[in-house]
Amino acid sequence: MRVTPTIRVQAGDFDSAREEALLTQRRRDVGAVVAFTGLCRDENGTLAALELEHYPGMAEEEILRFANEALLRWRLLGLTIIHRYGVIRPGERIVLVVAAARHRGDAFAAAEFLMDYLKTRAPFWKKERRIDGSDSGWVAAKSEDDAAASRWER
């Protein structure tokens, strides 16, 4: 059966537990669910918020492209990806990937693959706003993230 991924790009918060439950309710064939939630992190007590800018339209399309790639590579029974934009404060949720499968190997691999691609290929940009009111500029892309994504290349 073909799996249709659920993809949302939204300003508002999401409920990780609810999204996970939606993927498994009323079915008996799911043996593994991996849910990854990415949070806004304050490294040294100076971050007021992240401002996430995105490219409307392309963000959804690009996430759908990776989601379909994940569905080709692994045997998944359900897939949900949510990415927020706008002002997000430390401790708040930014991104959710939930992968459901018969077996854990497929669910783990798909979730990790999707997060690596979201970091480097989805059109989102983070700006840091400091507690003292200053903005410390745009978060620079990390070479570790590029390396993490490139290991999935075929």
* One residue of 95, 98, 100, 109 binding other proteins per CB under 8 A: 95
Q: How far is the CB of 137 from other proteins (least distance, A)?
A: 8
* CA atoms within a 13 Å half-sphere pointing along the CA-CB vector of 137: 3
Neighbours of 72 (CB within 10 A): 8
Stretch that binds other proteins, among 14-22, 27-35, 66-74, 121-129 (CB under 8 A): 121-129
Q: How far is the CB of 23 from other proteins (least distance, A)?
A: 20
* One residue of 137, 144, 151, 154 binding other proteins per CB under 8 A: 137
Buried b (16+ CB within 10 A) or exposed e, 73-102: ebebbbbbbbbbbeebebeebbbbbbbbbe
- Tokens 């991996």 map to which residue? 34
**How far is Cα of residue 139 from the mean position of the Cα atoms in its chain?**
17
Closest to other proteins by CB, 21 vs 147, is 147
Q: Phi-psi region for residue 91, left (φ > 0), alpha (ψ -120 to 50) or beta?
A: left
- H-run or E-run covering 135: strand 135-138
- Residue 94 as a binder of other proteins (CB under 8 A): the answer is yes
Stretch that binds other proteins, among 10-18, 24-32, 70-78, 114-122 (CB under 8 A): 114-122
**Binding map of other proteins across residues 59-88, x = CB under 8 A, - = no contact:** --xx--------------------x-----
Whether the CA torsion 49, 133, 53, 154 is positive or negative: it is negative
- Residue 53 as a binder of other proteins (CB under 8 A): the answer is yes
Residues found near other proteins in the complex (CB under 8 A) = 38, 52-55, 57-58, 61-62, 83, 94-95, 115, 118-127, 137-141, 145
